[in-house]
Each structure stands twice: as structure tokens, then as C-alpha cells.
Structure 1
């Protein structure tokens, strides 16, 4: 059974950790910039709801696939739920995970503040529950969608034995797009606390915000724990030598 590695504060002095944090900031920034920007663009153009949902889904799918593909240094997590899922599977230490979470939140906030400025002060649309969707339903939506995302990350990126290994970033992007099409009209299909945090901070609208922490973190953690302990049981991941091994090693 995979064990969570606590790590040490000494990791903060490692050059590869700082390189990874810089890359993680850049990739998360660009992901949130494109994702939130696509939502703002459809609002500005007053697109039909179905067209807007499709456009946002495609934008997220494409940018996720590209940013993960460039994540050979940091692992291209882009998402606190992905980091937690990998932590639960023993692929990254707790100390590095905390550094990643802070990094991802700062990147998301920076991207949304820049979007607000570049758009002339347009509101950054937040994730919130649709009319008729209760808190429990919203949390379950986010658990299932994020579980689907992390299960795909494990099956196509972490687990190198699969015939689809190498297509992981593209397939992960496809799942993100499909999940937005499935759940966007109900919970908003965040799957990513950082993606929800940036717009909420900039607009200072925290409606339903806790849902987008509880749901994704539960779903991501469960997926990492289950896949690692039931499908990669013969592999050992500790100790963790480098950050780049967190997702691609």
C-alpha cells in the first residue's frame, strides 16, 4: 500500500523544487488565463448558453492538454486536486504538495487579476451551483467529475504500462472537456479549487465556494488512493527523488 511521504523543509532549498514551482506557476497561470478568459469572452459576446458551454469546454480541454504536455519539470499538475491525488498515491511529498498548492492559488489569482485589467474591468465569472442544485448534489457532482479526471491521469500518465501511455495529456484534456459538457450546467464542473479560487477572489464573490474545495479534493484524493493501491500495487514510489517524477516519472 502506498504511503504518504511527509518530506522535509530541506526540500525548499533544492534547485529542482524551485524550477518546478516556477514552471507550475507559469502553466497554472496560462491554464486559468485561457479557461477564465474563454468564459469571459462568451459572456461579452452574449453567446447562446449551449454554444458558450461548448466553447468553454473546448478551451479548457485544449489548454489542459498543452500545459500538461509541457509539465516534464513540475509534472503539470495545474490543480490542487491533482496534487492531492498524487500525494495520496505516494508520488509527491506533503511538503512539496503544500508548496504546489500555494503556487497554484497565486497563479490563478494573478491570471484573473490580469484578465480583469485586460478586459476593462469585466467581472470574472465564478463557479456556483445552478438553480435547483443543492449543496450535496454539487459536492457529489464535483467528486465524480474530479475522480474521473484523476483516474484518467493515473491510467494514462502515471501508469506507464497502458497502451495509451504517451497520449495522457491529450486524453486528460478530453476528459476535462467532456466533464464540463456533462456537469457545467449543474455545478460548473470546476474539478479544480485553484480555477474556482481565482475568479472568486478577484470578484470577491464566494457564493457556494466551499463546494469547489470539498468536492474536488475528495474526488482527487479517492482516485489517487484507489488507483495506486488497487492497480499499481506492485510498484514502490518512495523515496521520491525528484519533482519531475511526481507525474511523469
Structure 2
């Protein structure tokens, strides 16, 4: 099977990234099937895997994505660094629609998802800083207009927030709201992979401004309008990625007896 050391997980509206010559591979996992076939192709001189988080036709809603299968599949192909573009709503005035934010913190408000590979035993993931600092630095260096930092609260979905919920999130000082960032980030860390989110602000959430609130078409249209921009940013980032060797995203498990399989270790 072909291998890649970098992966891009495409979010809402981001269903293709690699050239037509990319190879599609089927990966069987202990957790079932990933969201779609994994494509592997060359970007900026590196082998890159691409997986659309929601499937090729957005058939998997956020609460029903097989996150464990997705991250296990990527790791089994040799991936050590994951870039994860996603659509988000803005909660606070320091961000606006069209901004690309590289968040540094995460709050999990999901409740129906399987959040871990751990099913038995004592195996506790250190997660104070949910995103890889090295990867975040590489992303930020690839675009002068990116917003550095912010807290992304992940809600269950698939519905958007009520005004009261949105106002509550903003009052906590949280910057962004999203439906797919968890448990994806934690699972990547459990698989000993570096992970960074690249968040495109598609709208201001329901409680952040007056009006009718958030609509699906608005979100999809904003993401479509920024696809070329995100593709360029990802290509620049892949070209400048640091060596993952020695990163704490992997070394956290050096002295821990894992109770689940990490392929390739």
C-alpha cells in the first residue's frame, strides 16, 4: 500500500485537494470504514494523503463521522502530521467572515461521539495544548493575514446554535464555534500524530449579531469562495512543515503503556 507522511482532512465543501494523478486507496480499520477512500499524491515534493471528513458527497453529518476510523487509517498509511481545514462560526468581534484562524485551544461540548481509542485500562492523554505548536507555526508562517490563536468550541450538531447558546459561548471568551474539531484533535494525539486546525470563518454565529442567524447555504457558499485560498495556504504549509521527530505529540506516549493499537509502532 502507498504511504504518506502528511495528511489533509478536508472539511465542509473541501472534497478534493490532490491532482488527477492521485492514487485512491482502501484502508480497513478495526473501527470500520473511513469517511471515504484516502487519496495519496505529491504536493510540494512530499507524499500527502487527503481524506474528506464528510465523504465525497457530504454524506456523513458531523455527529455521525467515523472519526476513529479516519485517524487510524491515516496513521496506518504512515502519516505523522495532519492539517485540518474546517468551517467555523465567529463568536467575538476580533474575527469576521472570511478570516482564517489557527486556533490554539479547544472546548468540547459534544456528547454522542466515541471520544477515544481507549476502551480499557489506565491510559490518560495529556491534552492541555490540543494543537501541535510546530504545525501551528508552519501554518502561520504560510500566510501573512492569518489570525494567530483563539478558542474553538465544538458542538454536537447537526443543528446550529440558538442565540442563547451562542451568546453563552461568546461570554466565556471563546472565539469560534464548530461541529467537527472534537474528537478529531484528541484522536490524532492518541495516534501520536501532530495536528493543527485551519479554521475559515464563514459567518458570525446566531448570538454574535442581529438578523436571522446562521444558514447552511451561507456557510457552504463562503467556503466555496475561499477554496483556492485554502488550497494555496495548505500547499505552502506542506512545503515548509518541520520534521515531526521528537515532537511531544508523539513522545507523550514513550513512558505510557497504551491499551490500544497504534499502527506502525
User: Taking structure 2 as the reference length, what is the TM-score of the superposition?
Assistant: 0.29
Higher helix share: 1
Identify which of structures 1 and 2 has the higher relative contact order when contacts are C-alpha pairs closer than 8 Å and 6+ apart.
Answer: 1
Higher strand share: 2
User: Taking structure 1 as the reference length, what is the TM-score of the superposition?
Assistant: 0.30
